[in-house]
Amino acid sequence: MLKIGSHVSFSDKGLLSATKEASSYGSSSFMIYTGAPQNTRRKPIESMYIEEGKLAMQEGGMEDIVVHAPYIINLGSYKENTYELAVSFLQEEIRRTHAIGVKNIVLHPGAFTDKDAHYGIGRIAEGLNEVLDGVKETDVKIALETMAGKGTEMGRSFEEIAQIMEKVTHNERLAVCMDTCHIHDAGYDIVNDLDGVLEQFDRTVGLDRITVMHINDSKNAVGARKDRHTPIGSGWIGFEAINRIVHHEALQGRPFILETPWIGKEAKTQRPMYEVEIALLRGDVSGRFGPEFLTEVEQLQHFFQGKEIDSRSYILDVWTLLKNDAKAKKADPREPLERLYDLVAEAALFPHLNEEQLNHRLIAWLAGKELLVTA
């Protein structure tokens, strides 16, 4: 079975609430933080409903889940206090990950800030050696995430990932988390040459090193080095390319984790599109939402045909306009999905649907009529 799921919160009832949230989207895997990703405050692991969560996972058929390390960890920093905090805090997060029973903790490798890439590679490797020496009692692997290349962050190329790994003594404890938005933004053409990209990764790092996949579309063209996620099908990568990635023979057996943003007109009504994204990638839209859902997506298809709107062309044209025309962006800063939603809402095409339900159908329409029918 395809291991696909969502990035969920780790809140009041810890693993139990996270499992329930993931289950509500139809997930067969999920990713969590063990506390807030922006600070070091942590509840005792004993208070996080671990056993209750594991029972709920077992009942829901979810075994292979992932932890994400906090964003405040920077092993690439030359500042001693920042570096020392990164080492000690990552060690504690690994112990918490081990206590939950999770095998992989995803880590942004780090940023070299005022130094250079050569320094960053050495400093991150030094930090990883120190971290791993202090948590020998665990079997948790650190999955270095492929990064988009914004600012001075490391891991923006396969070569940088390989160079970091080569300098780590116990690099059998290292793995890789491949992020689709990040490698696209870093310049790897996964839309037109997925096999070539995977072959390059295999030669440089090794496909066997990948233990986690992050599945995200991108608001930017290939090589933009921006790292701005968007729901599946509403960005430059597109549903078809992401669907090929999720079902690629060389990537099977790993958990595929969605990190797509929540969307909605107002913050209080914003919701993630995980449920429909998972159903589309699993090929079970009708089973998840019922046959009427497909009928309504067909109605959307006819509606947009009447306005001479092609889904892929429209998405890319709007993103290009927002990037290249400052006046047009100031006059109408709405993103493609927001504009499509407004067109349908103004036409009162589905007055019985709420905002989330309409957005679900738009995401399905963006997947493409032919792909939807085969689902």
Euclidean distance between CA atoms 177 and 256, whole angstroms = 10
Q: Could you tell me the end-to-end alpha-carbon distance of the chain, in angstroms, rounded to an integer?
A: 16
Instruction: Establish whether 229 is an annotated binding residue.
Output: yes
Instruction: Establish whether 214 is an annotated binding residue.
Output: yes
Euclidean distance between CA atoms 263 and 62, whole angstroms = 26
- Hey, what's the torsion of the CAs at 231, 54, 137, 154, to 10 degrees? 0
Residue ranges with strand state E in the chain: 4-7, 29-32, 66-68, 104-107, 141-145, 174-179, 210-215, 217-218, 229-230, 256-258
- Please list the residues that pair with 213 across neighbouring strands: 178, 256
Instruction: Establish whether 184 is an annotated binding residue.
Output: no
| H or E segment and range at residue 125 | helix 117-133
Question: Taking a C-beta distance cutoff of 8 angstroms, is the pair 186, 147 a contact?
Answer: yes
Instruction: Show the tokens assigned to 199.
Output: 């072959």
Instruction: Establish whether 170 is an annotated binding residue.
Output: no
Question: Taking a C-beta distance cutoff of 8 angstroms, is the pair 186, 158 a contact?
Answer: no
Angle between helices 355-366 and 274-282 (to 10 degrees): 30
Burial class from Cβ neighbours inside 10 Å (0-12, 13-18, 19+) for residue 357 reads middle
Euclidean distance between CA atoms 195 and 97, whole angstroms = 33
Instruction: Establish whether 310 is an annotated binding residue.
Output: no
Euclidean distance between CA atoms 218 and 224, whole angstroms = 10
Euclidean distance between CA atoms 167 and 309, whole angstroms = 52
320-328: long-range pairs with CB below 8 Å, 24+? 320/221, 323/220, 323/221
- Triad 340, 236, 186: Cα angle to 5°: 150
Instruction: Establish whether 145 is an annotated binding residue.
Output: yes
Q: Pick out the residues of the known binding site.
A: 68, 108, 145, 179, 182, 214, 227, 229, 259
* Binding site residue list for Zn(2+): 68, 108, 145, 179, 182, 214, 227, 229, 259
